[in-house]
Amino acid sequence: DCDWIIEAVAENLEIKRGLLEKVDALRRPDALVTTNTSGLP
């Protein structure tokens, strides 16, 4: 039960997508999800 989820995994698109899919399946509909990245190709 949280209001804000911050993703900060390795700079790898496959890893980020996999994590965000799992987070999306478990988070509350009103929870804010943000990502931390310096750049992806």
Q: What is the pLDDT of residues 1-41, one digit of tens each?
A: 899 999 999 989 999 999 999 999 999 999 999 998 887 66
pLDDT for position 19: 97
What is each CA distance from 37 to 25, 26, 28, 30, 34, in whole angstroms? 22, 22, 23, 23, 10
Short-list 10, 17, 14, CA closest to 37: 10
Query: How would you write 1-41 as a 3-class SS string?
Result: CCCEEEECCCCCHHHHHHHHHHHHHHCCCCCEEEECCCCCC
Q: Judge whether 23 and 7 are in contact, CB under 8 Å.
A: yes
pLDDT for position 3: 97
pTM recorded for the entire structure: 0.78
pLDDT for position 41: 63
